[in-house]
Structure 1
Amino acid sequence: MARIVCVLGNKGGTGKTTLSHMIAHGMALLGKRVVCVLTDLERERLSKAGRLYLPFDAREAANLAKVVATLNEVEDWFGVIDGAGNRPDVDSHLANLADLVLLPFRDSHEDLRTVLRDLEWMPRAWGLPSQWPQHAAGRAAAQASIDRLLPGMRHRLLDPIPEVLSSKLFLQYRIPATLPWQLTNACVELAMQVLELLDVQYESPHAIEVAS
């Protein structure tokens, strides 16, 4: 049976789709076979050309049921499902299917309040700080907001994913033949966190060649 990771959350603009592709790409770089599943009706189908993972269009309920059934029958694959986007009933269904649920949030009070409600609603989910400030003052302010608005949730948060502007390349119909090394590194670091939460071993990232 494949492992299923769902990237969910009731707050828009947190980068769920981009992070789903980053996880899938990073897992592939770590030696895993991955399908990245689209369920958001506002998104468009993407080409598999040049990708190390397989994008799958499951915006229709029948296609979602099909890919989940297939994943349940195969070994050594991973499914990364991008949340439905303002369809809580679908997200609730996906959360029940998942081996791991991730809830991205940005450095804003609105995001923090929303992710707190989602973490309380889904007690097995993990919060994922995304597009996080890279300069020291910004990180300190963001951490202070977490301490104030997410009391008692520190143990359910992953390490922050910094803002990487080139991550939008994953949302192009076809991605470039070569991706920036900063993006590659961010994908690998994110995928490592995910695989460790799933208690899955992976190839050493030191063996991965990245462009500089």
Structure 2
Amino acid sequence: MAQIVCVLGNKGGTGKTTLSHMISHGMALLGKRVVCVLTDLERERLSKENRLYLPFDARDAGNLAKVVATLNDVGDWFGVIDGGGNRSDTDSHLANLADLVLLPFRDSHEDMRTVLRDLEWMPRAWGLPSQWPADPAAHRMAQAATDELLGAFGHRLLDPIPHLAATKLLLQDRIPATLPWQLTNACVELAMQVFELLDIQYESPEAFAAPR
């Protein structure tokens, strides 16, 4: 049976689609076979060209059931399911399918209040700070807000994913043949966090270190 990771949450605009592709790309770089499953009705299917992972269109419920059934029949693949915002019933269904649920949130009080409710609602889910500010002062403010609003769930929060303008390249229909090393490293580091939560072994990431 394949491992299924769902990127969910009621708040829109938290980067679920971007993170789904980052996780998929990072997993592939670490030697895994991955399908990135689209369920967000507001998105369009992306081309396979130059991707190391397989994008799959499951906006139709029948296609979602089909890809989940296929993943359940194989043991060496990973499925990363991209959820959509404001779909509690769909999130509940997807969470029941998942081996791991991630709930992205940005550095706003609104995002944090929403993810707080989602963490309470889904006790096996993990919060994922996304598009986190790199500026030191802004980073400190974001961390202070996280401590204030989500302190009780600190043990269920992953390391923040920094804001990178290059992540938009993964959402192009056809991605460039070569991606910036900063993006590559961010994808690998995120995938490593996911694998550690799933207790999955992976290839050494030494090849993805920053250029000297």
TM score, norm. by length of structure 1 = 0.97
Q: Give the whole-Å Cα distance in 2 for the aligned partners of 1:123 and 1:209.
A: 35
AA of the residue aligned to 1:171: L
Q: State whether residues 15 and 104 of structure 2, in contact with CA within 8 Å, keep that contact through their aligned partners in structure 1.
A: yes
Q: How does 1:120-135 map to 2 (within 5 A)?
A: 120-135=120-135
SS state of the match for residue 151, structure 1?
A: helix
Amino acid at match of 2:157: L
Aligned residues: 212
- Cα distance in 1 between the residues matched to 2:142 and 2:86: 26
Distance in 2 (CA, whole Å) between partners of 1:207 and 1:65 is 37
**1:184 touches 1:210 (CA, 8 Å); kept in 2?**
no
- Matched to 1:165, the amino acid is A
**Corresponding position of 2:12:** 12
Task: Give the match for residue 74 of structure 1.
Answer: 74
Shift of 1:209: 7.2
Deviations 1:145-168 (A, max 9, x none): 011111311100000000011101
1:88, distance to aligned residue in structure 2 (A):
1.6
Aligned to 2:61: 61
User: Once the 2 structures are TM-superposed, how far is the Cα of residue 211 of structure 1 from its aligned partner?
Assistant: 7.0
The answer to whether 1:136 aligns with 2:140 is: no
2:43 partner SS: coil
TM-aligned CA deviation for residue 21 of structure 1: 0.1
- After superposition, what is the alpha-carbon deviation per residue over 1:23-56, rounded to whole angstroms, capped at 9, x for unaligned? 0000000000000000000100111011000000
Q: Tell me, yes or no, if structure 1 residue 177 matches structure 2 residue 177.
A: yes
Q: CA RMSD in A?
A: 1.2
1:47-89 per-residue CA deviation (whole Å, 9 max, x = no partner) reads: 1011000000000000000000000000111000000332221
2:203 maps to 203
Q: Output the TM-score relative to the length of structure 2.
A: 0.97
Shift of 1:142: 0.8
Residue 166 of structure 2 contacts residue 180 of structure 2 at CA under 8 Å; is this kept in 1? Answer: yes
Q: CA–CA distance in 2 between the matches of 1:133 and 1:198?
A: 27
Structure 1 SS opposite 2:66: helix
Question: Counterpart in 2 of 1:46?
Answer: 46
Aligned residue type for 2:199: D
Greater Cα offset, 144-153 or 12-21: 144-153
Deviations 1:149-189 (A, max 9, x none): 11311100000000011101111111011111110010000
Residue identity opposite 1:51 in structure 2: R
Structure 1 counterpart of 2:26, which letter?
G
Partner of 1:154: 154
Cα distance in structure 2, aligned partners of 1:151 and 1:75: 37
- In structure 1, the residue corresponding to 2:152 is in which secondary structure? coil
C-alpha distance in structure 2 between counterparts of 1:116 and 1:206, whole Å? 35
Q: Distance in 1 between matches of 2:17 and 2:168?
A: 10
In structure 1, how many angstroms separate the alpha carbons of the residues matched to 2:191 and 2:177?
A: 20
Q: Is the Cα–Cα contact under 8 Å of residues 40 and 82 in structure 1 kept in the other structure?
A: yes
Tell me which residue corresponds to 1:95.
Answer: 95
Instruction: Provide the residue aligned with 1:105 in structure 2.
Output: 105
**1:139 offset after TM fit, Å?**
1.3
